[in-house]
Chain A
Amino acid sequence: MNFDLDAIFIEDQCRSSALAARVIEKIPPHVPVRYVADGREAALPQTDARDPFGAGKRRMVVMNRRSPFLMACPAGSAEFACCGYLVLTLASNCPMDCSYCFLQEYLADNPGFQVYANYADAMDELDRLAKRAPGRQLRVGTGELADSLAFDRITGISRELVEFFAARDGLTLELKTKTAEIDNLLEVDPKGHTIVSWTLSPEAVFRSSEHRTAPPSARIESARRVLDAGYRAGFHLDPIIAYPGAGRDYGELLDELFDSVAPDRIAFFSMGTMRMTSKLRSAARERFPADPMLLGEEVLSPDGRFRAFAPMRIALYREIADRIKASAPKVPMYLCMEQPGVHRKVLGAGPSTVAALGDRLARG
C-alpha cells in the first residue's frame, strides 16, 4: 500500500537501530525525518489539527516500546466467549482508515503511528512465555493495535517474525491484515507456524468504510497465494455490518472466497457484528459523517455497546454461519465479543473454554 506520511520521527535512542535504517531507506524522499528525544511526545495528538486522529496516522514514530509487548486481547472479557488470542504489539495505529475502527477511541490520546525498534525484546518475551506454558499451543497476533502487514514494505519485520515462530513448536503467529502486502511472506518458510488472516467485508462495506485497504478480491487472491506458499489462512468476518441486503452480500463474498480457496484449507472463521461504545460511535460519526454503514440499526445492548438489535443480529450470524457450514463444515468458527448465549444460538453448541478454543485455532 502507499503510505501518506507527513513526517517520520525517530527517537534518539533508536537512531542506529536496524528498523530506523530500513525505514529511512524505504520512505519517499519528500517525507521529512526528524529526531526527537522521546517518541511518546511525537505520538501525542496534534490538538491544532482538524482531525488529530487522522493526523496521527501520518506521523510515523520509530521508538522503543517501554511496556511489555505481549498482552491479552483487549477485546477479551469474562462476559464474552473468547478465543484466547494473545496480542503482540509491534506497532500502534494503522495507515489505513476504516470508519468503524475501534482505534479511534482506543488510541485517541496516543494516535501517532508508532513502530517499535526494540522488537527483538518481544521475541524474548515470547520465549519466556512459551517456557512457562509447556505443552500449550499459543496463538499470538500482531494485528490488534495495527494491521500486521500494512507497513511491512517499509519495516520488513514479518520475515523475522515468521522465521522466529517457525523455529518454535509451541507458538503460532497470526498476521491479521486488510492488505495484499504479502511479498515478504513469500520469501520465507513458515513451517506451519504462521496463520495469515484477512478481515473480509463485502464490496459495499469496503467502498463505504474501509479507506486505503485492499479490495476484498485482492485480499482473497493474497490468501490463495500464501496458502500455496505453505501458510495457513483464516478469515475474520468482523465487523459484520447489518445493512439491508447484508445477508446476500456476505453470501456472495463467501462464494467468491470458496471459488478461490478450497474450504478445507481454511484454518478458521471468526465473526463479530459491529459494536461500538458511545464514545467510539461519536468519534467515528464525527470523522465519517457521510458513511451510511455507521448509521445502521444499532441499539444499546446489555454490555453498554451499540450493536444491531438482537433478532436481526442473530439471524444474520445464522445466515452467514449456515453458508460457511454448507461449504466448510469442518472449519472452526467462533464469535468475537459475543456472550455465550449468542454463541449457542448461532453455532448450535456452547462455546469451548478460552484455552480449548485458542489451542484448537492455533493447532489447526
Chain B
Amino acid sequence: MTDTAAAIRAWAAERHLPETHLARWLGMTERDRAAILAIARALRLSTGAIVTALATLEEISVRESCTIESVLARDAIARIIKGRTSAPARAKAFLAALRQIRYPRLAEASRKLEAEIAALDLPRAISVVLPKDLGSAHLRVELEANDGAELKRLIGALYASADKLAQIADRLSGEK
C-alpha cells in the first residue's frame, strides 16, 4: 500500500466513509487521489462533502477528458483553498465551485437570469422565483402585502416591469 492509500484509509476510517466511496477514491490514480486528500485535509471536508466531491470530480474528469488533479489545480478552486474564511465556509464554496464546473451552462444561465431579476429592482415584497436548477420553464412571482394599498402599490411596480419580466420568462423558455 502506498503512503497516500494508507493516509486515505486512515482519513476514511476517522470519518466513517462508506466502503463503496472509499473504493472509488482508492481506485483513482495516485496523483488524483492525493490531490483530493490534500483538499479534504485543507478544508476539513465532512463525510457528505467528500462523497459529493468524489462523484462530481469523477464526472468532470469524464466530461472534460482531464485528470482530477488538473481540475483541483484550477484558479477558482485554488482561490477557495487559500481563502481566509472558515474551513466550513470554504468547503461549501468548494462544492459550489465544483458544481459550476460540472454544470457550466446551467451556472451561466442561472447567473444571467438572476442578474436580470436583480436589475428589475423590484420592492422586497415581490419575489421572482426561478425554478430549481431551471428544471422547468415556470417562473413564479409572489407578492406579499398587508393591506389593499400595499397590494396596489406592488401590482403597480410589477406592471411597470412587465415587459422585462416577460423577457425573463421568455429566456427561461429557451428564447435567446
What is the interface of chain A, defined by CB distance below 8 A to chain B? Answer: 244, 289-292, 295, 297, 299-302, 307, 309-318, 341-342, 345
Whether the pair B173, A299 counts as a contact (CB closer than 8 A) is: no
Q: A309-B109, A312-B105 are in contact. Are A292 and B174 (CB under 8 A)?
A: no
Whether the pair A309, B133 counts as a contact (CB closer than 8 A) is: yes
Q: Kindly list chain B residues whose C-beta atoms are within 8 Å of the C-beta of A314.
A: 137, 173-174
Q: A299-B106, A345-B174 are in contact. Are A310 and B135 (CB under 8 A)?
A: yes
Residue of B65, B131, B136 with most partner-chain A CB within 10 A: B136
Whether the pair B62, A289 counts as a contact (CB closer than 8 A) is: yes
Q: How far is the CA of A287 from the CA of B65 in the complex (A)?
A: 18
A319 to chain B, nearest CB (A): 9
Q: How far is the CA of A233 from the CA of B20 in the complex (A)?
A: 48
Whether the pair B103, A297 counts as a contact (CB closer than 8 A) is: yes
B63 within 8 A of A: yes
| Residue of A291, A292, A300, A317 touching B135 (CB-CB under 8 A) | A300
Q: Kindly list chain B residues whose C-beta atoms are within 8 Å of the C-beta of A316.
A: 174
Q: Kindly list chain B residues whose C-beta atoms are within 8 Å of the C-beta of A313.
A: 174
Whether the pair B106, A290 counts as a contact (CB closer than 8 A) is: no
Q: Kindly list chain A residues whose C-beta atoms are within 8 Å of the C-beta of B138.
A: 302
A259 to chain B, nearest CB (A): 28
Q: Kindly list chain A residues whose C-beta atoms are within 8 Å of the C-beta of B103.
A: 297, 299, 309
Whether the pair A292, B63 counts as a contact (CB closer than 8 A) is: yes
A240 to chain B, nearest CB (A): 13
The 7 closest A-B pairs by CB, nearest first: A314-B174, A315-B174, A299-B133, A309-B134, A310-B137, A299-B135, A301-B135
- Give how many B residues have a beta carbon under 8 Å from the other chain's beta carbons: 23
B37 within 8 A of A: no
Whether the pair B106, A297 counts as a contact (CB closer than 8 A) is: yes
Q: How far is the CA of A312 from the CA of B136 in the complex (A)?
A: 10
Whether the pair A311, B174 counts as a contact (CB closer than 8 A) is: yes
Q: How far is the CA of A290 from the CA of B136 in the complex (A)?
A: 28
- Chain B 143-176 interface residues, beta-carbon cutoff 8 Å to A: 171-176
Whether the pair A312, B106 counts as a contact (CB closer than 8 A) is: yes
Q: Kindly list chain A residues whose C-beta atoms are within 8 Å of the C-beta of B176.
A: 315
B59 within 8 A of A: yes
| Residue of A292, A297, A311 touching B171 (CB-CB under 8 A) | A311
Q: A301-B136, A345-B137 are in contact. Are A311 and B109 (CB under 8 A)?
A: yes
Q: How many A-B residue pairs have CB under 8 A?
A: 71
Closest to B172 in A: A311
B50 to chain A, nearest CB (A): 19
Q: How far is the CA of A300 from the CA of B106 in the complex (A)?
A: 13
Known: A299-B106, A302-B135, A309-B106. 7 other contacts (CB 8 A): A299-B134, A300-B135, A302-B138, A310-B173, A311-B171, A314-B174, A342-B137
| Residue of A291, A310, A315, A317 touching B136 (CB-CB under 8 A) | A310
Whether the pair B174, A290 counts as a contact (CB closer than 8 A) is: no
Closest to B112 in A: A311
Q: Kindly list chain B residues whose C-beta atoms are within 8 Å of the C-beta of A309.
A: 103, 105-106, 109, 133-135
A97 to chain B, nearest CB (A): 18
Q: How far is the CA of A302 from the CA of B106 in the complex (A)?
A: 17
Whether the pair B174, A297 counts as a contact (CB closer than 8 A) is: no
Residue of B65, B109, B137, B138 with most partner-chain A CB within 10 A: B137
Closest to A243 in B: B63
Q: Kindly list chain B residues whose C-beta atoms are within 8 Å of the C-beta of A290.
A: 62
Whether the pair A318, B63 counts as a contact (CB closer than 8 A) is: no
Whether the pair A310, B106 counts as a contact (CB closer than 8 A) is: no
Q: Kindly list chain A residues whose C-beta atoms are within 8 Å of the C-beta of B105.
A: 244, 297, 309, 312
Q: 0/1 per residue, B112-153, Cβ < 8 Å to A? A: 000000000000000000011111111000000000000000
B147 to chain A, nearest CB (A): 34
Whether the pair A311, B137 counts as a contact (CB closer than 8 A) is: yes
Whether the pair B137, A300 counts as a contact (CB closer than 8 A) is: no
A242 to chain B, nearest CB (A): 8
Whether the pair B173, A295 counts as a contact (CB closer than 8 A) is: no
Q: How far is the CA of A311 from the CA of B172 in the complex (A)?
A: 5
A201 to chain B, nearest CB (A): 18
Closest to A244 in B: B105
Closest to A310 in B: B137
B172 to chain A, nearest CB (A): 6
